[in-house]
Structure 1
Amino acid sequence: MPTALIRRPGARLAEGLVTHIERQPVDVELAIRQWQLYVDALHSTGWTTVEVPPIEECPDSVFIEDTMVVYGDLAVIARAGADERRPEAAAAAETVQAQGYRITRIADPGTLDGGDVLKIGSTIYIGEGGRTNAEGIRQLREAFAPLGADVRSVPVRKVLHLKSAVTALPDGTVIGYEPLVDAPEAFERFRAVPEESGAHVVLLGEDRLLMAASAPKSAALFAELGYAPVVVDISEFEKLEGCVTCLSVRLRG
């Protein structure tokens, strides 16, 4: 059964970091309800979830994807590009190890956020320039090389993380909102989508795509291509540069 790690939002969520957009008020109670509906969507499509213990002192901790990168049986525990987010990794590491994964860690002076990593089969694209640096990429490449991964660095300047700009469809086509993609030519196949949040999908299996309610035109495009959008409202997380990918770590499936 496919499994995802999740972490519920804390009371200080509204204090989360914002780098590329204007800060807006965040309704924490609404965010908690939206998070539960996100989790429910995973469950309704056959996924099981494992909850990482909350860490109230870290407002961004709900964005659990940034704590690690999983490939094969190995979880590389990230070293966050933002100092204040580094305490988030400890409990996440313990939780993924309890799921049977080997772990290794990005070490100083490397920095790496999981949201900068896009996996397409054995090809792993990593965004360099924001929260992830060249040394972090070198360490990740070294960790995954024995598993046969092809790690490729791509520039990220216009958005917080690589997966703020692009994700990929089940056939491997990279999708992105072109004004926010630094180097669309870096990908073997690229397709533009009509909305910023339409660039963010989570592959749930059986051609189902978990995506945000704020991208109806993109959902219609994916339906025309034969995919089945599973739509969730994550408006409060979008105010903090969050998207559907960063609210979970997909371990299997």
Structure 2
Amino acid sequence: MQVAVPQDQTRVPTTRRYLMCPPSFFAVEYVINPWMDPSQPVSVELAVQQWTELRDTYRRLGHTVEEIEAQPGLPDMVFAANSGTVVDGRVLGSRFRAPQRAAEAEHFRRWFVEHGYRDITMPEKINEAEGDFAWTGKLLLAGTGFRTDPAAHAEAQEALGVPVVSLRLIDPKFYHLDTALFVLSEATDAAPAQVVYYPQAFSPGSQRVLTKLFPDAVQATEADALCFGLNGVSDGRNVVLPVEATELGARLAERGYEPVYVDISELRKAGGGPKCCTMEIRK
């Protein structure tokens, strides 16, 4: 259901704090998702340029961006969202399914320790953090089907102390929740959360759950999803999207949001987009 926002209603952005990792060692050397093709050349220089523009876009929008140092031998470390979920200052780390990415989790854990965080939990079950977890302000949407173990959802509820709703992904092109759904505005006491998602990425039961939880959601098209439009980042007003996601951006503008476009074409070769590069730190 598409509902236009009233003319006199203005979306209000909230200042965010993000953790990012530069793609200094970016490469596509293995295949752990359908987007990766090691036979296709990639440019570290272009990846760094695109990542830098994304980082600078956040800063222009008034957000704080902190950086963790990239490590050699970990070409996917740029996708910081996969290494931690932070809600109310509690940190739930990650445990990767692919052995090629396993070492990333410890580097991010150390970053949190070095920056004064003490309530840190490292999961026992496979848990790819904000790749499969989306905080709505009241509850945590939790994806499974390709990466994160369903049992990790219970671990997240215990570690973060927030209610968790499980959602099943069924299309391998949308292997993480953050490739198929993102939160436009978090829930408050005065208003429910708003989300945008691609229905066909989810099982029939999960589609029914999303319809009940978010009857006013923006339902994206396949074209939106295939350009990583569902890997967007919103501050409640400004929505950072891939440059190709103009159709989705137009529909979000009808709801009162302000689309902000960035080029992530090189990063997409590894199956990542704006959100994949962006871990949100909620204190």
Instruction: Check whether TM > 0.5.
Output: yes
2:218 pairs with one of 170, 176, 191: 191
Mapped contact 1:201–1:210 kept (Cα < 8 A): yes
2-structure distance, mates of 1:240, 1:119: 24
User: What is the aligned-residue identity percentage?
Assistant: 27
Corresponding position of 1:223:
253
1:164 pairs with one of 179, 183, 194: 179
1:155 pairs with one of 148, 156, 168: 168
2-structure distance, mates of 1:221, 1:48: 28
Establish whether residue 45 from structure 1 lines up as the match of residue 61 from structure 2: yes
2-structure distance, mates of 1:11, 1:144: 32
2-structure distance, mates of 1:97, 1:209: 31
1-structure distance, mates of 2:243, 2:166: 30
Mapped contact 2:145–2:175 kept (Cα < 8 A): no
1-structure distance, mates of 2:114, 2:241: 29
Higher share of residues assigned helix: 1
SS in 2 for 1:14: coil
2-structure distance, mates of 1:67, 1:118: 13
Mapped contact 1:52–1:95 kept (Cα < 8 A): yes
1-structure distance, mates of 2:99, 2:106: 14
1:1-253 equivalences under 5 Å are 2-15=16-29, 17-21=31-35, 23=37, 24-101=40-117, 102-107=119-124, 110-114=125-129, 115-145=131-161, 149-158=162-171, 159-170=174-185, 172-182=193-203, 183-187=206-210, 188-189=213-214, 190-194=217-221, 195-196=224-225, 197-205=228-236, 207-252=237-282
Q: Provide, for residues 143-195 of structure 1, a one-character-per-residue CA deviation record: whole Å limited to 9, x for no partner.
A: 123xxx11111112312101111112116233123333333222211431231
- 1:92: how far off? 1.2
1-structure distance, mates of 2:45, 2:32: 19
Aligned-pair Cα RMSD in Å:
1.9
- 1:12: how far off? 4.3
1-structure distance, mates of 2:160, 2:19: 21
Corresponding position of 2:188:
none
**Aligned partner letter, 2:262:** V
> Whose relative contact order is higher, 1 or 2, with alpha carbons under 8 Å and at least 6 apart?
2
Instruction: Give the structure-1-normalised TM-score.
Output: 0.90
Question: Which has more radius of gyration?
Answer: 2
Q: Provide, for residues 35-76 of structure 1, a one-character-per-residue CA deviation record: whole Å limited to 9, x for no partner.
A: 000010011011122111211111111001101111111011
Mark the CA change 1:62 to 1:22 in structure 2 (over 3 Å): closer, same or farther: closer
Mapped contact 2:197–2:218 kept (Cα < 8 A): yes
Q: Provide, for residues 213-245 of structure 1, a one-character-per-residue CA deviation record: whole Å limited to 9, x for no partner.
A: 120111111111111111111011122211211
Instruction: Give the structure-2-normalised TM-score.
Output: 0.81
1-structure distance, mates of 2:56, 2:280: 15
Mapped contact 2:142–2:166 kept (Cα < 8 A): yes
Q: Pick which of 9-18 and 98-107 moved more.
A: 9-18
Q: Provide, for residues 78-126 of structure 1, a one-character-per-residue CA deviation record: whole Å limited to 9, x for no partner.
A: 111212211101221122234443211102xx10001000110121011
Q: Pick which of 239-248 and 10-19 moved more.
A: 10-19
Report how many residues are paired. 247
Structure 1, unaligned runs of 5 or more: none
Structure 2, unaligned runs of 5 or more: 1-14, 186-191
Mark the CA change 1:185 to 1:191 in structure 2 (over 3 Å): closer, same or farther: farther
- 1:16: how far off? 5.4
1-structure distance, mates of 2:252, 2:103: 37
